[in-house]
Every structure is written in C-alpha cells, then in structure tokens.
C-alpha cells in the first residue's frame, strides 16, 4: 500500500516531547524532518519540500505561491500553531491544497496565562529586577516602581478564544476594568467575558495597559503606529503574544525611548527569530521572549495531536482536516485528495 510522505518543516517541538505523535504518523506514512533558514527563498524551499504529500509546518519559513506551485503532490499543509500568516492560503486554495491549523481553544489557557505573565513582567519590572541582582545592583530597585492591575483600565484588542480568557483573568482575578475592541464578536459577548466594548481609538487613548489578541491580517498589520502611540497615556504597558507585524517598529522604538510606552513585553517579533543585535534588545524597557506563549505541556500536546488527527483524517480516512484555514477549497473541482 502506498505511503504518503509527510515533511515536518522547521518544528523544534512536534514529536520531541510526545513520541506517540511520531509513532502514529510512522504507522502509515514516511516522515522527513526538514530544517531551513527562516528567510529561505521560495525556490530553495520548494526544492526541499516538493515531493511532500503532507507538510506539518512551523511559524517559519514563509510558504509563498511560488513554492506551492512546485509542490505537485501536496494534499495537506497543517500549521503546527494557530496563525497561518506565513502560508499563502489563497494560492493553496487555487491549487486545491487543504490548509489546516490548530484551533485557538487548544492554546487558549497557555497563551492567555503567558500574556498576563508578560503584563506583570512589564508592569512590575520583573526582568530588570532579576538582571539587577545578577549584576550586583540590588540598590537600583528604587527605580523599579511599577503599577498594580486592580482598578486599572486594561485594553484588549481581539476577544476570541485567547483574548476572552485574558479578559476573564484580568477582570475577575485582578479586579481590572477591561475594555475591548473586536468587530467580529457579538456585542452581548463582551460582558460575558468581563469586558466593556469600546471603539479602538478610545481603547488606545484610555488604557493603562494594552494586550494584543488578534491575528496579523491586512486589516491589523501596523495597526499601532506613530499617531496611536501619541494618543496613549504616558507609561502604557503593551503586550504582544500575536505577531510582531501588528506594530510599526520604528514608531514603537521611539515610544519606548521617549517614555510614551512604559514597557513593551512581547513574545513575537517581526522577522523572528532575532538575535541580540536587534534594536529592541538594546532597550531596557523592552522584554522579548522567543515565541513561548504556546509552550505548556498541555498546549504542545494538543497542538501535536491536532496535526496527527488531521493527517490521519486525510491520508487514512480520505476525509478532511478539522480546523481549516481555507474551507473554500472543499468546493474546488481541483481539490487534491490522497489516492
């Protein structure tokens, strides 16, 4: 019986901690582990993956149309994560390739808790304090005064699975006044999650801290720029667990340097991975972690299981994956199926 070739692309965690995921795939498929530079060009990437029937892809590299056009056998591309912004889903749909992803609820607790951790780290200068002690600078603590969350207006941009959970934690757990903006959530849901619906410009203007919980789309990229930073209260803590592209980096650095932002606590950076030469790493009020939001044991297991389940559905059951990024492909006459 013919076995599909499934390539595991740039994932440092899939199968590493949960060997049963690899074992399940190996029971019906041949696996190929591929690691490429995040900025690999389209043709070089195609050379690596063009024989794949299925791909389990990390957040890098970008998989553009030019690459997908050379993957003549590709039936299914599964993102080992929530966002599919590194995959040209429009091209995949035109070519008849199914693209699936991890449903937000799988990472809901992990990312929401991590966002709150970043908020606390930025608001209470936890990282600066830890570094000070290691540098024998205990006495500098007088310059590390932070904010309390109780009673503060905290803004959340995006009230989906993860944003709604952050809202519940902040409003019910910390006693914060949560305001939120999300044009895609029913108005009655805001109060259910402990938030008050406000226009985005009001959220930016009135909040003492702001959390991003929205995807990077044409609508949201660079949504915070020079004008938005200028309208903020002085000393705002900005938290980003979504995508670096949501912020204009030039304007961000200026806001950190002039004190408009008290802190930028982020788990994501445009063009990641970055190194210590990146300009954000030179700013004391910027906290950067290496995309760890989904890195809880529970979340990683759920993410891996989603990739396995989708692969089993397509390659063993001739079915369709669970959470599709391009469901419209199912109506295409040229939709590819495993045979």
pLDDT in tens, the chain (339 residues): 799 999 999 999 999 999 999 999 999 999 999 999 999 999 999 999 999 999 999 999 999 999 999 999 999 999 999 999 999 999 999 999 999 999 999 999 999 999 999 999 999 999 999 999 999 999 999 999 999 999 999 999 999 999 999 999 999 999 999 999 999 999 999 999 999 999 999 999 999 999 999 999 999 999 999 999 999 999 999 999 999 999 999 999 999 999 999 999 999 999 999 999 999 999 999 999 999 999 999 999 999 999 999 999 999 999 999 999 999 999 999 999 998
Whether 61 contacts 16, CB under 8 Å: no
Measured torsion, CA atoms of residues 85, 88, 89, 92, in degrees rounded to the nearest 10: -150
Question: Among all chains, which residue has been given the structure tokens 């930016």?
Answer: 204
- For 178-205, give one letter per residue: b (16+ CB within 10 A) or e: bbbbbeebeeeebeebbbebbebeebbe
Q: 339: helix, coil or strand? A: coil
| Rounded-to-integer distance, Cα 282 and Cα 187, Å | 41
Domain boundaries, the chain: 5-101+296-331, 105-288
Pairing of strands 153-157, 177-181: parallel
State the pLDDT at residue 1.
Answer: 74
**Annotation says 291 is catalytic:** yes
**Annotation says 272 is catalytic:** yes
Whether 263 contacts 123, CB under 8 Å: yes
Q: Please determine whether the domains at 5-101+296-331 and 105-288 fall in the same fold group of CATH.
A: yes
Helical (H) or strand (E) element with 78: strand 76-79
Q: In CATH terms, is domain 105-288 a member of 3.30.565.10?
A: no
Q: Which of 272, 278, 301, 335 is catalytic?
A: 272
State the pLDDT at residue 339.
Answer: 86
Whether 5 contacts 30, CB under 8 Å: yes
Nearest to 241 by CA among 305, 166, 191: 166
| Rounded-to-integer distance, Cα 239 and Cα 211, Å | 5
Q: Which of 80, 213, 291, 336 is catalytic?
A: 291
**Annotation says 168 is catalytic:** no
Q: Which of 79, 101, 243, 336 is catalytic?
A: 243
**What percent helix, strand, coil does the chain show, rounded to 5?**
40, 15, 45
Nearest to 210 by CA among 230, 176, 177, 236: 236
| Rounded-to-integer distance, Cα 141 and Cα 129, Å | 7
| Rounded-to-integer distance, Cα 294 and Cα 323, Å | 18
Peptide bond into 26 cis (omega under 30): no
CATH class of this structure's domain 5-101+296-331: alpha beta
Computed on alpha carbons and rounded to an integer, the radius of gyration of the chain in Å comes to: 21
Backbone dihedral region for residue 268 (phi beyond 0: left; psi -120 to 50: alpha; all else: beta): beta
Which residues of 182-270 form beta strands (DSSP E)? 195-197, 209-212, 236-240, 261-266
The model carries a pTM of 0.93
């Amino acid at each position: 019986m013919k076995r599909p070739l499934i390539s595991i692309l740039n994932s440092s965690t899939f199968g590493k901690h949960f060997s049963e995921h690899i074992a399940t795939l190996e029971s019906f498929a041949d696996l190929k582990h591929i690691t490429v530079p995040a900025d690999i060009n389209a043709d070089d990437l195609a050379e690596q993956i063009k024989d794949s029937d299925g791909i389990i892809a990390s957040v890098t590299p970008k998989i553009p149309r030019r690459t997908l056009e050379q993957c003549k056998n590709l039936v299914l591309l599964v993102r080992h994560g929530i966002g599919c912004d590194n995959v040209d889903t429009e091209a995949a749909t035109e070519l008849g390739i199914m693209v699936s992803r991890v449903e937000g609820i799988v990472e809901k607790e992990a990312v929401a808790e991590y966002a709150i951790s970043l908020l606390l780290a930025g608001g209470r200068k936890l990282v600066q304090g830890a570094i000070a002690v290691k540098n024998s600078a205990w006495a500098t603590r007088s310059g590390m005064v932070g904010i309390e969350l109780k009673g503060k207006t905290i803004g959340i941009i995006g009230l989906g699975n993860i944003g709604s959970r952050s809202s519940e934690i902040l409003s019910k757990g910390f006693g914060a006044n949560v305001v939120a903006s999300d044009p895609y959530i029913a108005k009655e849901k805001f109060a259910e999650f402990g938030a008050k619906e406000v226009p985005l410009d009001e959220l930016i203007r009135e909040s003492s801290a702001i959390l991003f919980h929205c995807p990077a789309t044409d609508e949201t990229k660079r949504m915070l720029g020079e004008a938005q930073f200028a309208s903020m209260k002085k000393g705002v803590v900005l938290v980003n667990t979504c995508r670096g592209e949501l912020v204009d980096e030039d304007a961000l650095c200026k806001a950190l340097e002039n004190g408009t932002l008290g802190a930028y606590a982020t788990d994501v950076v445009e063009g990641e991975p970055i190194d210590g030469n990146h300009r954000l790493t030179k700013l004391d009020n910027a906290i950067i972690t290496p995309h760890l939001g989904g890195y809880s044991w529970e979340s990683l297991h759920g993410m891996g299981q989603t990739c396995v389940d989708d692969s089993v559905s397509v390659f063993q059951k001739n079915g369709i994956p669970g959470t599709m990024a391009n469901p419209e492909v199912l109506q295409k006459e040229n939709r590819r199926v495993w045979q």
